[in-house]
């Protein structure tokens, strides 16, 4: 797994459509079979959650590519700003929710 600091550095400097393989293997198995006493920034489960946050924020698209039996490449593709703008529209204005009084 790629360390989180390196992923964040790539995220800041990547051009649109740049690809990064952040893990090779079986992410679910690897994340939950590693020792829990290692540094949080090196733990697979924490790094995977942070990478998923960049997906939910519209910065990247995530996908997998099969390499072999129970072995995958986990890839992150940088999204152009025009697509990011389409994925996260501005919030709608809130209607006046004050109760009306009938006479």
Number of compact structural domains in the chain? 1
Q: What is the enclosing helix (H) or strand (E) of 11?
A: helix 4-13
Q: What is the dihedral of CA 82, 84, 86, 91, to 10 degrees?
A: -130
User: Could you report the per-residue pLDDT of 82-103, keeping only the tens digit for each?
Assistant: 655 555 555 666 666 655 565 5
Q: Is residue 35 part of a domain?
A: yes
Q: Is residue 22 part of a domain?
A: yes
Round to whole Å and give the CA distance between 60 and 53.
9
Q: Is the pTM of this model over 0.75?
A: no
Looking at the domain assignment, is residue 98 inside a domain? no
| DSSP reduced 3-state for 95 | coil
Domain containing 22 equals: 4-86
CA separation for the pair 49, 66 (Å, rounded)? 21
Is residue 64 domain-resident? yes
Rounded CA gap, 35 and 73, in Å?
A: 22
- Note whether residue 93 is domain-resident: no
């Amino acid at each position: 797994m790629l360390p989180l600091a390196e992923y964040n550095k790539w995220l800041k400097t990547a051009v649109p459509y740049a690809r990064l393989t952040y893990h090779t293997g079986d992410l679910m198995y690897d994340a939950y079979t590693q020792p829990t006493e290692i540094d949080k920034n090196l733990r697979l489960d924490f790094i995977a959650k942070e990478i998923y946050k960049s997906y939910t924020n519209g910065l990247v698209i995530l996908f997998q590519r099969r390499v072999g039996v129970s072995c995958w490449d986990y890839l992150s593709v940088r999204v152009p700003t025009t697509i990011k703008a389409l994925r996260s529209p501005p919030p709608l204005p809130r209607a006046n929710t004050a109760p009306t009084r009938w006479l």
